Amino acid sequence: MADEPPRPDPDTLLALAAKEGRGRLKVFLGAAPGVGKTFEMLSEGRSLKATGAEVLVGLLETHGRAETAAQLGALPVLPRRRIAYRGQALEEFDLDAALVLRPQVLLLDELAHSNAPGSRHPKRWQDVEELRAAGIEVWTTMNVQHLESLSEDVARIIGIRVQETVPDHVLADADAVELIDIPPAELLERLRQGKIYRPEQAARALKGFFREGNLAALRQIALRRTADRVDADVTGYMRANAIAGPWPAGDRVLALIGRDATAEDVVRQARRIADVLRAPLLALHVETASATDRFDPAPALLLAERLGAEVETTVARDVPPAVLAHARAHNVTHIVIGRGRPAGWRRLTGRTLTATLIRQAADFTLHLIPAPTSVPGRVRAEARGLPGWVGWAAVPVLVCLATGASLVADGAVPEGGLGMIYLAAVVALAAMFGPMPAAAGALLAFLVWDFLFLLPRFTFALSGIQEVMGAAIFFCVALLLAGTTGGLGRSVATARARVFGLRRLIELSRKVSAAGSAGDLVVVVAQEAAGLSGRPACVLLPLDGEPVVRAARPVDIEPDTASMAAARWAQAKGTRAGFATDALPSADWQFRPMRTAQGTVGLVGLRMSGMATPMDAEHDRALDALLDQAAIALERAQLMADQARNAARAETEALRSALLASIGHDLRTPLTSIRGALETLRLSGEALPLAARDDLLATAEEETIRLTRYLGNIVDIVRLEHGQLQPKREPVDLGDAVRTAAERMMRSSGRRIRCDIAERLPAPRLDAALIDQVLANLLDNAIKFSPAETEVVVAVRRDGPQVAITVEDQGSGIAPDMLIHIFDPFFRVRRGDQAPAGTGLGLAICRGLVHAMDGRIAADSPIRDGKGTRMTVLLPA
């Protein structure tokens, strides 16, 4: 409401809340090396330390400058971390040590530095982000040419492409930016005196980077970036504290884009004004329900985006209050509007947008752009897509139809009632074709009704005061219906268009979200882009820095070589390129980037040449919405793929570590036993009794068998992990297989094993060698985990369509939290501080072998009196 007090901007408050708990970031910004960024950072750090604050120098690069080194004073310096790389020892910032010490303020030089391979983060600015997330305040230095968005501009100025860059959002998120600036002449004098580089380096620098023109241009860029930052701080403060603007602290230009012929001229003129004032440019389009839809604002909005404006579209019932509220919220000082050609009654009553803003916008400078002398036909957008003459032609047609209906009803309906039929025709004209054809229809209907049906008939004369008042009321009501119904029709059309847009966005979101992988997603995007644009489309994703077609509709379509140059441009710059754009407009294809906060993740290409009709604004906006959603979905798919790869890599590393630990520990015992037995026999064999020699040989043989079994288990688990195991199926007598495995284990272990085998068992088609290995591992596991005086029971029985083999022991059982892991590789049940010998692969191999034979294996514990474990193998009968 107009009298409602101003409130803080919610987005600004949310941004401030997001910074709570994070460490502050202060950037000392300069235009070139040697301006004194590090010197000033150390000077302020010493002053802060003198107040009692805990200040730590995380990393300092003096580059041999004595003045900078002397400025360090008594500030403590964090020791650097040494990283071995290609035979060299590199020294880098120790991030972990800084996180442990947690100083109040950490001084970290050269924000744009690339860390050595093997560091946690590839870039130092990423180290700063982690420090801030931990609540540590960071002061750092950087030159303006290292900003990522300025790399191309700097390359054109100095002729050298900067390789180490910092994303713009890092500087934008900084809590403070301090510009360290000295004139180019003074900087060159410092260079000649050897205060920046050594004499031989200074001579080369004077011929290259350190030229007065280069330094002046970089200084201008640094000053403008700092001014933009200060302007953003002022605007943020005003929004957070609900201060109505504008404040004349800096210029900001707003281009008001309307639905008239001046829209594009307004944008161009606003861009020129902003360039002269060195001010940011904003563009605003206010959508209203009463818009006449004579001109499409989409081309002007696209032009504003290409010219670097901050574009925003809003919906309001009344344009002037919305414009002024937006201007005050963004601290705008200049508003650029077009005169247009408003209706005559608006000019007479002073209700034009221009006149209203002149009265109400006393705090702003207004720039009026004259209307063009000719109107390009390509921007006209007639109601419902019909030519303008159709509405005017419908006027006599509907009036004639109403007249025919009135002639039929004449005599049965009074003369005044016949006027209602003509009012219905007026309403139909207003709803279908707008207020102007309806007003003409109202006049024509009144004349026909008066001439044919009001007394005296067939004249325009009226017989009395009653007829005069009735005719006047009829005419006024007809005009009122023409205006109100026309406005209602436009509102309904606008609402229908918005509902259509929302429905399409929801449908696009559903299809994009339903795509399971990046491959499915690009197919959906290509299909929807082709459907929305009505022309062939393709999706390109980067591969080794080059855009590659991943999906297309039709499937055989592909951009030509000339168009691929536009695709590479669009990918590199993150802007539209190709047909009807500023970059390579002669190409047959137009490429639109799919952008996220991390950059361009892909492109959508549209073949524009040879198409009869251009794409309308509604479909163009829907396509842009599709690109935004597809970009987020692609980034999510890539993150999920990276997460899956990292999980697989972590699992592989865990398996490798467990394997190495097994080899290092479990295999050492049999090797030590074998070596000890053989050395004893070699050194004292003849002096030993025969029984002792036999015992040593038996020990060596037993440990060799044990070692062979360990190595066999490792080979088997590797084969199972890589899917290299193919069972050789043949009928197997499970009774004989169980008896044979039990007898072998009783001989080797000396334990008692009881077999309980049912009669008339089927002979399932299994791999005899694999089932024998499964039984051996299960029996070995039962013997290992049960007391020596107890027996192990093996049972085989028919269980419906399956055969069940159970192995039961009378051990202490398995805890529930361990039971779910006993079939995992290298897992061993511990009792206290002890774990039985073995690699922990036996049960994992059993599970893999049983699954390879289409069976299942399960474990139950305890089975009776809180003790015992039962292993059950179910195989198809």
pLDDT above 90 (res 684): no
Beta-carbon contacts of 414 under 8 Å, excluding residues fewer than 6 positions away, are none
Would strands 176-180 and 253-257 be described as parallel, antiparallel, or unpaired?
A: unpaired
Residue 284 confidence (pLDDT)? 92
As a whole number of angstroms, the distance between CA 436 and CA 71 comes to 79
- Options 3.40.50.300, 3.40.190.10, 3.30.390.50, 3.30.2040.10; CATH of 10-240: 3.40.50.300
Higher pLDDT: 6 or 35? It is: 35
DSSP at 103: -
- Find all residues with CB under 8 Å of 733, minimum gap 6, and list them: 761, 763
Check residues 268 and 817 and name the one with the higher pLDDT: 268
Mean pLDDT of 176-188: 85
Does pLDDT of 113 surpass 70? yes
Q: Of 36-45, 214-223, 301-310, 743-752, where does the model show the most confidence?
A: 36-45
Q: Considering only CA atoms, which of 371, 343, 358 is closest in space to residue 265?
A: 371
Average pLDDT over residues 108-118: 86
Residue 218's nearest CA partner among 26, 30, 28 is 30
Residues 6+ positions from 217 with CB-CB distance below 8 Å: 157
Residue 838 pLDDT: 52
Q: What is the pLDDT of residue 427?
A: 76
Residues 370-428 pLDDT 10s = 876 554 443 333 444 456 677 788 888 888 888 888 888 887 777 667 777 877 877 77
Helical spans, DSSP H, in 94-211: 95-101, 124-133, 151-158, 168-172, 184-192, 199-207
| Alpha helical stretches, state H, 534-616 | 561-573
d(CA 795, CA 778): 12
Q: In this predicted model, what pLDDT tens digit does every residue of 185-197 receive, in sequence order?
A: 888 887 777 777 7
Q: Which CATH architecture has domain 518-624?
A: 2-Layer Sandwich (3.30)
What is the predicted pLDDT for the residue at 321?
A: 87
Of these ranges, 342-351, 537-546, 747-756, the one predicted with the greatest mean pLDDT is: 537-546
- As a whole-number percent, the residues of the chain with pLDDT over 90 amount to 10
**pLDDT score at 538:** 94
Helices (H), 167-313: 168-172, 184-192, 199-207, 212-240, 263-277, 298-306
Q: What's the CA gap between 802 and 796, in Å, rounded? A: 11
- Beta carbons within 10 angstroms of residue 672's beta carbon: 11
pTM score, two decimals?
Answer: 0.43
CATH 3.40.50.620 for domain 253-373, yes or no, is yes
Lowest mean pLDDT among 37-51, 84-98, 487-501: 487-501
Residue range 725-876 in CATH 3.30.565.10: yes
pLDDT at 612 over 80: no
At residue 387, the pLDDT reads 63
Please state the φ and ψ torsions of residue 48, each to the nearest 5 degrees.
Answer: -65, -40
The proportion of the chain whose per-residue pLDDT surpasses 70, expressed as a percent, equals 76
Instruction: Give per-residue pLDDT as tens, 280-339.
Output: 899 998 877 555 545 678 778 878 877 888 888 887 778 888 898 888 878 788 999 987
